Each structure stands twice: as structure tokens, then as C-alpha cells.
């Protein structure tokens, strides 16, 4: 049932979205891997990525009424995921926000379906949690209820304190965060791929230094 997680890691590696080497993180750490969802940048990769989001949502079994994609990266993710869910028999509305409110035409701060009911936020990753906080505030201001956040990869890495960025969101806002795959899934993938084994020890060492376990 959960093979899609390993399939997603393999897909990300094949697309060169998930790379191995030495990369500087925003926290100033030298990471042995780097994930850049912005490189899912053509029709085929976006279609496949959206299908992985849809599988993760269905596996999590969280009740929701619509999708919301925070600008900018969340916009194609929410639209693509809505299409993928529709292809699986689950047709739901979606919307996204404007970076600046429009004062002419239809106006407003969002585009698409009105924010109503239980809203599932679709984003690529959670780093500082700023995008999530802004999304939750906007959704609540519209009278709707943020019910979960869905991301591509959970690095399971400590932030400034003892918690990961994902755990901080769950603690601060009381909503679950669903990831297509996590650092544990990445390690499982590396252990099963002979040609990738050279990266395993570096990723394990990094986890031992900065990693946290999800509840």
C-alpha cells in the first residue's frame, strides 16, 4: 500500500530533483542531499508528482473539502493534485492566493473556489513554516478550517530548537502534516539500491547529528 513512497524517492532521483553531494542549508549546515521541487518543471513530471500527492492524501485518510495552494510553488501543486484526485474519482475544488490583493475586476486575495469547509494545504516543503502560518491565517480569516498540510518531503531535521519544522507546525496549529516521503523513506531507498549505497553513510551521519523522529 505504501510502495508509492519508495517510488516517489526513485522518481525524484531520476528527475535530478533529489541530489547527493555537499549542499549548504538555510541553517548553515552542510547536507549530503538536496531536494528542489522546483525542478519538477515539465508536463510529465508535474503529472507524476501530482499523482504522488493524491496517493499520499488518500493514504492519510484525512477528511477534507477542498485544496489550497500558497503562492507561488503551491499553485501548480494544488491544481495538479486536484486533477490527479479527480482522475481517481475524487473531484474537489481548489484555490490559491495572490501575493498582492487585486483591487479591480473580481478583486480579492484568492483565485479559484471560495474558501469553505475543511481546507487541505498543498506545498512543496516546510522549512521555517512561514508559508504555512500565512496560509492558515488566510483560511481562518475566510471562515474556513485548515485541516492538514501535505508536502513532498519531510527532512525530519531539527530547526532552531528540538523540534523539526513539521513538528513545530503540528504543535503550533494542531493540524497534521502529511509527507509523500520522509528522511526514513530516503534511507530505506538508499539501503535497497546498490548503486546508491555510497550515499547511505553520509545521510545516516547527518540524521544522527540533526535528525528527529516523528511521533
Q: Return the CATH number at 94.
A: 3.40.50.2020
Length of the chain: 215
The confidence score (pLDDT) of residue 102 equals: 56
Instruction: Give domain status of residue 97, yes or no.
Output: yes
| Residues known to be catalytic | 102, 104
β-pairing, 30-35 vs 18-24, is antiparallel
At residue 192, the pLDDT reads: 87
Domain annotation covers residue 106: yes
Residue 196, domain member (yes or no): yes
Q: Is residue 11 part of a domain?
A: yes
Q: What is the pLDDT of residue 205?
A: 95
Percent of the chain that is helix, strand, coil (3-state, to 5)? 45, 25, 30
In angstroms, rounded to a whole number, what is the distance separating the alpha carbons of residues 74 and 55? 17
Range of the domain at 190: 3-210
Distances (CA, A) of 83 to 18, 86, 94, 178: 24, 5, 10, 19
Report the pLDDT value the prediction gives residue 64, as an integer from 0 to 100: 98
Q: Do 127 and 135 meet the contact criterion of CB atoms below 8 Å apart?
A: no
Amino acid 1: pLDDT = 45
SS3 213: coil
Write the pLDDT tens digit of every residue in 72-86: 999 999 999 999 999
- Tell me if 121 sits within 8 A of 149, measured CB to CB: yes
d(CA 82, CA 102): 24
**pLDDT means per 10 residues in the chain (215 residues)?**
85 96 89 94 97 97 97 94 97 91 62 97 86 93 97 91 91 95 95 88 94 77
Q: Please check whether residue 30 lies inside any domain of the structure.
A: yes
pLDDT at 101: 60
Q: Is the residue at 215 inside a domain?
A: no
Query: Does 70 reside within a domain?
Result: yes
Instruction: Report the domain count for the chain.
Output: 1
Domain membership of residue 77 (yes or no) is: yes
Identify the residue whose cell numbers are 475524487: 90
Amino acid at each position: 500500500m505504501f510502495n508509492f513512497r519508495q517510488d516517489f524517492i526513485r522518481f525524484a532521483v531520476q528527475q535530478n530533483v533529489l541530489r547527493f553531494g555537499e549542499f549548504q542549508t538555510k541553517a548553515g549546515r552542510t547536507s549530503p542531499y538536496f531536494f528542489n521541487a522546483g525542478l519538477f518543471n515539465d508536463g510529465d513530471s508535474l503529472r507524476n508528482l501530482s499523482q504522488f500527492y493524491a496517493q499520499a492524501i488518500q493514504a492519510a485518510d484525512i477528511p477534507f473539502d477542498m485544496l489550497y495552494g500558497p503562492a507561488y510553488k503551491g499553485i501548480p501543486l494544488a491544481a495538479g493534485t486536484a486533477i490527479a484526485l479527480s482522475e481517481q474519482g475524487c473531484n474537489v475544488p481548489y484555490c490559491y492566493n495572490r501575493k498582492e490583493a487585486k483591487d479591480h475586476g473580481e478583486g480579492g486575495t484568492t483565485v479559484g473556489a471560495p474558501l469553505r469547509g475543511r481546507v487541505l494545504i498543498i506545498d512543496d516543503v516546510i522549512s521555517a513554516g512561514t508559508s504555512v502560518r500565512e496560509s492558515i491565517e488566510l483560511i481562518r480569516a475566510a471562515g474556513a478550517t485548515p485541516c492538514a498540510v501535505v508536502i513532498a518531503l519531510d527532512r525530519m531535521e531539527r530547526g532552531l530548537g528540538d523540534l523539526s519544522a513539521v513538528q513545530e507546525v503540528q504543535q503550533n496549529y494542531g493540524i497534521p502534516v502529511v509527507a509523500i516521503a520522509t528522511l526514513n523513506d530516503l534511507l530505506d531507498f538508499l539501503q535497497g539500491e546498490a548503486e546508491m549505497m555510497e550515499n547511505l553513510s553520509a545521510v545516516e551521519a547527518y540524521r544522527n547529528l540533526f535528525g528527529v523522529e516523528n511521533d
